[in-house]
Amino acid sequence: MGKTAFVFSGQGAQYPGMGKELYENSPAAKAVFDMAEEIRPGTIKQCFEGTKEELAITINTQPCVFICDLAAAAAVAEQGIQPDFVAGFSLGEIAAIAFAGMLTYEEAFRLVCKRAEYMDKAAKENKGAMAAVLKLTPQKVEQICAEFDKAYPVNYNSPAQTVVAAAEEEIDALCDRVKAEKGKAVKLAVSGAFHSPFMNDAADALAEYLKDMTLKDPTVPVYANYTAEPYAGDYKALIAAQVKNPVKWQTTVENMTGEGADRFIEVGVGKTLTGLIKKINADVTAVNIENKEGLDSLKN
């Protein structure tokens, strides 16, 4: 029998009304939302009633997506389904380590709120932009980025999708180079150049905040974005390094399937990871659980 992986969605997948059906249909999910509301009043209202623009602001996006991720995972677990492995995309990794018991839910939520503050500050002080590059190999994207002063591949999403980060003044020229190589470049509606050296200050601030925290060993393997391997060694260093280094998503999925994962359940917001996983390996099952329909499908 194959193994199950929970994968936690990241920033960019947010939308107005997210999490509301989970809150209304799962006591476990409701408890997660209520916990967040006590720590950060207004979080539930932002998730359920916030505008697209409000939810796109990093200091709002990260706490709201995080809590939807964790609530979805709690709702799935409430149905009696437990993962053999977990991983999260960028922000989703913090939800993954919380679900795996490395931090309490309260500690992890406070950490995410700080992470959002630090990344927002770094983005404002170090102006950058991001674009998804399609139809080109990661190697070709690396070659194109090397032609620019401040351009970096930052999300290795699938064999034909790599996200890049670059200085604001370079992103248009980079997109033109991608088109010249018969690729497609789509600029992303994000507020900064995440997972790149533009986030060095945020990583340093996060490392300082983590100094006073105690992380437990995970109850199930948590695959780190930074290494694409299960968390090992200095947990705090992995969490801090993640914000300024590439997300190795394709390799992460390949490594989990190599360990027997053949069912991936995307917990949280949207279907982004479900789509990427199917492009990485068409032979696995990948579904997303973010609402009542998703929860009901687990009962069949």
pLDDT at 111 over 90: yes
Distance CA 280, CA 275 (A): 9
Class of domain 128-187: alpha beta
Active-site residue among 9, 158, 191, 195? Answer: 195
Q: State residue 190's pLDDT score.
A: 81
Q: State residue 1's pLDDT score.
A: 62
Concerning whether 297 is annotated as a catalytic residue, the answer is no
Compute the average pLDDT of residues 74-95. Answer: 96
Active-site residue among 90, 158, 191, 196? Answer: 90
* Stretch (H or E) spanning 267: strand 261-267
pLDDT at 122 over 80: yes
Q: What is this structure's pTM?
A: 0.94
Question: Domain 3-124+196-297, what fold?
Answer: Malonyl-Coenzyme A Acyl Carrier Protein; domain 2 (3.40.366)
> Please, where in the chain does CATH 3.30.70.250 lie?
128-187
With a pLDDT cut of 90, the percent of the chain lying above it is 91
Of 90, 95, 227, whose CA–CA distance to 163 is shortest?
A: 90
Each residue of 235-266: pLDDT tens digit? 999 999 999 999 999 999 999 999 999 999 99
> Please, where in the chain does CATH 3.40.366.10 lie?
3-124+196-297
pLDDT at 22 over 80: yes
Distance CA 240, CA 206 (A): 6
Concerning whether 158 is annotated as a catalytic residue, the answer is no
List, as one string, the DSSP characters of 114-166.
Answer: HHHHHHHHHHHHS-EEEEEEESS-HHHHHHHHTTSSSEEEEEEEETTEEEEEE
pLDDT at 185 over 70: yes
